[in-house]
């Protein structure tokens, strides 16, 4: 399946998730905006630290995710439901389908943002979510 894993976060754990999911695709995880534009991707997974004042480049990227660029978009977020809905609405307005099952992955703690290693439990959680997303696309 043609897929992309894109990350917009400075947190090591979220970058690790992006890299882990990219191994299911054909290339490494990229940042937003990506070095190479999305082109007829079956699935784009966006892993992001969300806040109400997201960078304008991120908003523009999401608002340009038409069906020609991405058929489906799945979200893994470190943030709240309100901000996740805002991002989902941006993507839907461009025409791409947003997968209903958003994975909320809060990165908390004084040094949690620096850790680049996922625990076995976190890896299992992300993999189970991803497998469910893929199963529902079939």
Reference 55, options 10, 115, 103; nearest CA is 10
Residue 10 has a pLDDT of 87
pLDDT tens readout for residues 6-48: 999 988 899 999 999 998 776 778 999 998 899 999 999 999 9
Pairing of strands 30-31, 41-49: unpaired
Task: Provide the 3-class DSSP secondary structure of residue 57.
Answer: helix
**In sequence order, what are the beta bridge partners of 44?**
4, 73
- pTM, two decimal places: 0.92
Reported residue count of the chain is: 138
Residue 39 structural domain: 3-137
CATH of the domain at 69: 3.40.50
Number of domains into which the chain is organized: 1
Per-residue pLDDT of 84-120, as tens digits, reads: 999 999 999 999 999 999 999 988 765 555 678 899 9
């Amino acid at each position: 399946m043609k897929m992309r894993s894109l990350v917009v976060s400075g947190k090591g754990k979220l970058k690790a998730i992006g890299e882990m999911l990219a191994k299911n695709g054909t290339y490494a995880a990229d940042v937003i905006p990506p070095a190479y534009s999305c082109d007829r991707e079956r699935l784009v997974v966006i892993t992001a630290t969300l806040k109400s004042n997201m960078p304008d480049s991120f908003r523009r990227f999401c608002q340009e995710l038409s069906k020609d660029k991405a058929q489906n978009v799945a979200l893994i977020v470190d943030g709240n439901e309100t901000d996740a809905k805002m991002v989902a609405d941006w993507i839907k307005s461009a025409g791409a389908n947003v997968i209903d099952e958003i994975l909320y992955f809060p990165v908390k703690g004084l040094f949690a943002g620096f850790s680049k290693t996922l625990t076995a439990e976190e890896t299992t959680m992300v993999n189970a979510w991803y497998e469910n997303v893929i199963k529902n696309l079939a």
